[in-house]
């Protein structure tokens, strides 16, 4: 149930609705944005009667939410959510490009790559300090030393930084250094991690699980929002299929479907979808043409020497070409673009 208040509803009228909701044993969650306040009714056991609210002063309407995800849904909030990270706005009308190496390997490596991606037009710098690797013998990331390097990159370049929190235990540490905290594909249904992310003041970049349906993905976002953090960026990164010509299969159809269902921004990671450098540019162009709000791309100045995901990392000049092309496509598709 969503209780939509009149535009000129007073604070007392809003408080009264909140009290009615709480007296029924439910949680009242005011929804930010728009020109009026709406209040979501959460944690209800069974249906809530709209008649409870309709007669109250300041209430415009009480609308049942039919989707299993509520705060994530456009039924709750019709207009697109925009998320501010430093000077960058992520969401409708803005194209956001996140770029950097798969993993932070050294200060030199991070600063060199950050210099290249900034010059090409990236808005945020990415890099893993804690890496979820399939093999326990593969490079696991530099840990806190890697996070400190990211902080150095931010102060040298001015680019906000995105990095992954792999578990509940290291969330505090990652949150301390990161501007945006990433939750990776393997953790999309790590519910204690999602709940912790929901308590964070940082925006969360939530990747789609490699075998997750769109509904499961949106429910994962709901976990974060239900704890009070409304700053969630969804990231499609490919799903497992029978295909061998790429590491995963980029599900571009997720972009229009998610955009219809949810007000949250959605970006695409063509690097982990493809797993191979030669597919990254065409998939990036297609993602922006499909109205994704941005891209997350792996870039390395010496991909042959990379400690992880070298095969899918673009050379800096390839990334510069990508930026030029996707900005042109964005302008055609979206009209007055602001980058």
Residues that bind Mn ion (CB under 5 A): 102, 309
Q: What does the alpha-carbon distance between residue 216 and residue 220 come to, in Å, rounded to a whole number?
A: 6
Contact positions with ligand PEP (CB under 6 A) in 194-213: 207
Q: Does 262 bind ligand PEP (CB under 6 A)?
A: no
Q: Does 277 bind ligand PEP (CB under 6 A)?
A: no
Please say which residue, 17 or 165, places its beta carbon nearer to ligand PEP. Answer: 165
Beta bridge partners of 236: 268
Q: What does the alpha-carbon distance between residue 279 and residue 288 come to, in Å, rounded to a whole number?
A: 15
How many residues touch ligand PEP under the rule CB under 6 A: the total is: 9
Q: Does 275 bind ligand PEP (CB under 6 A)?
A: no
Q: Does 272 bind ligand PEP (CB under 6 A)?
A: yes
Q: What does the alpha-carbon distance between residue 278 and residue 215 come to, in Å, rounded to a whole number?
A: 31
237 binds, among ligand PEP, Mn ion, none (CB under 5 to 8 A by kind): ligand PEP
Beta bridge partners of 117: none
Q: What does the alpha-carbon distance between residue 60 and residue 63 come to, in Å, rounded to a whole number?
A: 10
Nearest distance, CB of residue 25 and ligand PEP, angstroms: 38
Nearest distance, CB of residue 13 and ligand PEP, angstroms: 45
Strand-strand pairing, 2-5 and 180-183: unpaired
Supply φ then ψ for residue 87, to 5 degrees: -90, 0
Please say which residue, 184 or 265, places its beta carbon nearer to ligand PEP. Answer: 184
Nearest distance, CB of residue 141 and Mn ion, angstroms: 11
Task: Please name which of 257, 260, 269, 298 lies closest in space to residue 100, comparing C-alpha atoms.
Answer: 298
Other C-beta atoms within 10 Å of 257: how many?
14
Supply φ then ψ for residue 24, to 5 degrees: -85, 5
Q: Does 237 bind ligand PEP (CB under 6 A)?
A: yes
Kindly report the length of the chain: 339
Please say which residue, 272 or 300, places its beta carbon nearer to ligand PEP. Answer: 272
Please say which residue, 58 or 238, places its beta carbon nearer to ligand PEP. Answer: 238
Q: Does 300 bind ligand PEP (CB under 6 A)?
A: no
Please say which residue, 164 or 222, places its beta carbon nearer to Mn ion. Answer: 164
Who's near 237: CB < 8 A, 6+ residues apart?
185, 207, 208, 210, 248, 268, 269, 272, 273, 296
Contact positions with ligand PEP (CB under 6 A) in 107-136: 128, 132
Q: Does 70 bind ligand PEP (CB under 6 A)?
A: no
In this structure, what token pair is assigned to residue 334? 């979206």
Residues in touch with ligand PEP (CB under 6 A): 102, 128, 132, 184-185, 207, 237, 269, 272
């Amino acid at each position: 149930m969503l209780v939509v208040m009149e535009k000129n509803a007073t604070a007392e009228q809003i408080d009264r609705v909140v009290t009615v909701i709480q007296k029924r044993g439910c949680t009242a969650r005011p929804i930010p944005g728009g020109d009026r306040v709406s209040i979501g009714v959460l944690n209800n056991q069974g249906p809530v009667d709209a008649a409870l609210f309709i007669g109250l002063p300041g209430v415009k309407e009480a609308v049942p939410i039919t989707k299993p995800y509520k705060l994530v849904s456009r039924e709750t909030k019709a207009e697109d959510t925009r998320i501010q990270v430093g000077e960058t706005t992520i969401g409708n009308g803005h194209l956001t490009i996140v770029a950097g190496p798969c993993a932070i390997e050294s200060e030199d490596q991070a600063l060199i790559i950050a210099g290249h991606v900034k010059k090409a037009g990236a808005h945020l710098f990415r890099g893993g300090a804690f890496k979820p690797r399939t093999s326990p013998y593969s490079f696991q990331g530099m840990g806190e030393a890697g996070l400190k390097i990211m902080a150095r990159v931010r102060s040298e370049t001015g680019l906000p930084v995105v990095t992954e929190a792999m578990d509940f235990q290291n969330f505090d540490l990652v949150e301390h250094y990161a501007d945006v905290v990433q939750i990776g594909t393997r953790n999309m249904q790590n519910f204690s991690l999602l709940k912790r992310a929901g308590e964070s003041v940082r925006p969360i970049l939530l990747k789609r699980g490699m075998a997750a349906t769109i509904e499961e993905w949106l429910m994962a976002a709901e976990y974060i929002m239900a704890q009070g953090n409304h700053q969630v960026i969804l990231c499609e990164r490919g799903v497992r299929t029978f295909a061998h010509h790429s590491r995963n299969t980029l599900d571009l159809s997720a972009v229009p479907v998610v955009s219809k269902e949810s007000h949250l921004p959605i970006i695409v990671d063509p690097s982990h979808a493809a797993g191979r450098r030669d597919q990254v540019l065409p998939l990036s162009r297609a993602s922006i043409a499909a109205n994704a709000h941005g891209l997350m791309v792996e870039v390395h100045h010496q991909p042959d020497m990379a400690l992880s995901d070298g095969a899918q990392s673009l050379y800096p000049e390839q990334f510069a070409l990508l930026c030029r092309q996707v900005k042109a496509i964005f302008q055609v598709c979206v009209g007055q673009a602001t980058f």
